[in-house]
Structure 1
Amino acid sequence: MATKSYPRHSSNNGDSCCCSRCLCGCFNCCCKCLCSCIGYFFNYVLSIICNIIIAVVIFAVLFWLIVRPNYIKFTATDTSLTQFNFRNNNTLHYDLSIKIAIRNPNRRVGIYYNNIEMLAFYKDVRFGSQTFGKFFQSHKNTSFLNAVFRGQKVIPLSSDQILELDKETKNGVYAIVVKILLKARFTLGLFKTWEGNPMVRCDLQVPLKSGNEFLATNCDWDDKWWLFR
């Protein structure tokens, strides 16, 4: 009895296809897993950032509602100008004293002044400066700064500024600007804020001592802190 022989089919092609499909499936799975992990990580970080921002906003609002902080008030209360004249090639000779009152109207907030620098300007040129040491100002308190500017300074003047100077000399009143540079932070109990660097500007009409009387002048904040009203 004759035996039938059946042709053998090679399984190499089938095995390679299976391997390819298996590798592709593993690669797609790894990609999906990696993308899922990255997406989860970014969502987690974003969630933390949003929670921090919300917490800071809530804290700031509650702090403002409870404390109701006010701006510190700076006032030039008195001046003494005994010398203010130009000699020899635009050289200004000056002798000026200024008294500044610092009023903290807040009921709960105190201020640490780490540094205060007072600068005097005439025609946008600085001619004097004085630095004050650090001190603490408690709530509902008024402190005073007494600055003395004495010496000489070369201040080049334009023709228009010379005309203004002549007019001021005739009237006996000079337009002098005082800038107060602060390094300060606020305290409420054990809580202390970051250190700020605001500036206060005082536009003064300063009379010679032998002339008109000085009128007390309120100063303005150049850099206002949004927390205060």
Structure 2
Amino acid sequence: MTKFPQTKCQWLILWAIGLIGGTISVIIPLIFYLSYLGDDKVNVSVMNATLTEFNYTKNTLYYNLILNISISHTVYYDYIDASMMYQNISFDSQTVVMFNKSFSELHMNLRGQHVMAFITNQISKLNKQKMYGVYHIHLKLCPMFRFETNKLMPIIHCDLQVSLKSNKETTPIDGFHATKCDLRYDLSD
């Protein structure tokens, strides 16, 4: 059976221990957050994107997207999960291992096929983009920190407009313009 403090001195000691423990449990994560997770400390840009295939046939999307991504940061990441979306449907992901703390160039090739059923307005949007030869692709990067951040997860969003490069062309008509990505924080479960 647990004994409760009997004297005022015992209560005071118990209260001081609780106060110190509670203060430490709040201050240490706050210091970590302020030191490592500033918006100004992570800069992500897609420097180049080449789309050599983007074809939707019989409920299957065939794609080939080559990306060069520049990331400057002050935090150690063990790896970054990258996922590609088109019209709010995720259809490819890749994990990239990080090696350098201060600056990284990521080279990714997202290629394959994915079965996905578009509704009527999505098909008309796809056909319109196909007519212009420029596709709106969303790239989502989720860095995994060396240290646990518990509930607060940074998510990097890149909204890309990529021209389809045909085999006959050396470069797409408009080319690709470097795109700065947005850093947002998401509460994880």
TM-score, normalising length: structure 1? 0.64
Instruction: Output the amino acid matched with 2:155.
Output: M
Provide the aligned C-alpha RMSD in A: 3.2
- Going by fraction, where is helix more abundant, 1 or 2? 1
| Contact 1:202/1:220 (<8 A) preserved | yes
Structure 1 residues 138-157: aligned runs within 5 Å: 141-157=102-118
Corresponding residue of 2:50: 80
Q: Quote how far apart the aligned CAs of 1:90 are.
A: 1.6
CA shift for structure 1 position 72: 0.9
The residue aligned with 1:218 is 180
CA offset digits 1:153-198 (Å, max 9, x no partner): 112101111111111111211111111121113xxxxxxxx32343
Provide the rounded CA distance (Å) in 1 between the counterparts of 2:5 and 2:99: 56
Higher strand share: 2
TM-score, structure 2 normalization: 0.76
**1:22-67 deviations in Å (ceiling 9; x for gaps):** xxxxxxxxxxxx8762876555444323234445539956x95x99
| Runs of 5+ consecutive residues of structure 2 not aligned to the other structure | 166-171
Amino acid at match of 1:219: C
- Distance in 1, matches of 2:160 and 2:15, equals 51
C-alpha distance in 2 between matches for 1:180 and 1:195: 17
Q: Please show how residues 12-27 of structure 1 align to structure 2 within 5 Å.
A: none
Q: Name the SS of the counterpart of 1:174 in structure 2.
A: strand
Unmatched segments (≥5 aa) in structure 1:
1-33, 105-109, 186-193
Asked whether the equivalents of residues 65 and 111 of structure 2 are also in contact (C-alpha less than 8 Å), the reply is yes
